[in-house]
Chains A and B, each alone.
Chain A
Amino acid sequence: MNKLFILAVFLCGSILYPRPAPAADAAHGKTLYRVYCTQCHGLSGDGKGINAPQLSVQPRNHRDRAEMSARTDDDLFKAIKEGGQAVNKSILMPNWDGNMTDDEIHDVVAYLRALCCAGAK
């Protein structure tokens, strides 16, 4: 019984106080973004990459503060890792889990936050 109680307390603690994610590196995220994302999302992240004119769905403008503020970091992480369909968006946004590690995807998310909302260039 005591063991069950301790386990329950531990689990509750884990939920209420999740282990902090390692600090994401927005600078590395910027490099990753250039390699994997700019082809569609644009050199400046405005959603107007070289592939955009041929796409049936306009890529997200990552400089749109209002739009990006409506997405949680978890949403962005999931969209990058599992692709657009995983977050009820276009299949044209591919899953990048075969190309980037989870840590790298967190770095991209950190860069997206800087791009949309901290005036990053």
Chain B
Amino acid sequence: MRKVIALGGAALMTALSVTSAPAAEAPAKIQKECAVCHQMSGPASPDLAARQTRKGPPLFFAGNKFRRDWLETWLQKPTRIRPAGDFAPDHAAKGPEGDAVDAASLSDHPAVDAPAAKEIADYLMTLTPNTALLAKEDYTPGRVSARIGAMDFVKFKGCSGCHKDTPKYGGFSGPELHTAWQRLQPPFIVSYIRDPAAWEPRTLMPNKHLNTAGIHKLANYLRTIGEKPEKAK
């Protein structure tokens, strides 16, 4: 099993050895190479089997989701956003105290050089099929006190069950959220919280049926912790 993972990682590294290709060829090349792990054209599959076998989040709406500058920086020095990978059951193992993340089963995202990162980020930002979903949102970023926001996040909305709002606190199965504000476009955050299945039918994110004020409060909390990280709890 480990050999298969290692082989997969090596294949991924080879596939993502993006170098500066002629501009006209670049999108097709990026599409092909990213598609080794990411869904590059939509819509997202409603198929349960597809959700279990995917290796990375879909990128076909990357231009609606990510901040371009974050993408360019992250691609050069990628860090793990999802502590238990994109599909936690595949990266959990039973231990004496219960299940734990099986770090050996996770493979790192390959890094690319600066010109390639720029090229990939530029291309990904052109993938914007869900602009209409974002247009439904009317959100002006505000602030919430870190303490009130944390209480809302942890106690009232239960987000910490799956997500970390500091590097040390929160669940492992969802993407970390203490970096969400730097990573994601604010309208995407709001739209995704409002109706996650509109973006991905088989998302593991529940729709909490929050009202707009509640959604904006969560987004404001992500801004608060993202722009001025809290000390670890």
Contact = CB atoms under 8 A, between A and B. Distances in A.
A interface, over-half SS: loop
B94 interface: yes
Contacts of B196: 98
B84 A50 contact: yes
* Contact-residue size bin, chain B (C-beta under 8 Å from the other chain): 35 or more
Contacts of B162: 39, 51
Contact of A51 (B93, B94, B173, B209): B173
Given A31-B48, A39-B173, A94-B161, A52 B98 contact: yes
Nearest to A58: B98
Interface in A24-66: 31-32, 34-36, 38-40, 42-44, 46, 48-55
Interface residues of A, number: 31
A92 B195 CA distance: 19
B89 A43 contact: yes
A98 B99 contact: no
Given A35-B52, A39-B204, A94-B208, A53 B89 contact: no
Interface in B154-174: 155-158, 160-162, 169-173
Interface string B192-225: 0001110000111011110000000000000000
A77 interface: no
B151 interface: no
A75 interface: no
B88 to A, nearest CB: 5
Nearest to A39: B173
A85 to B, nearest CB: 9
B100 interface: yes
Interface in B69-124: 84, 88-89, 92-94, 97-101
Contacts of B89: 34-35, 38-39, 43
6 contacts: A32-B48, A35-B52, A35-B89, A39-B92, A39-B172, A55-B171
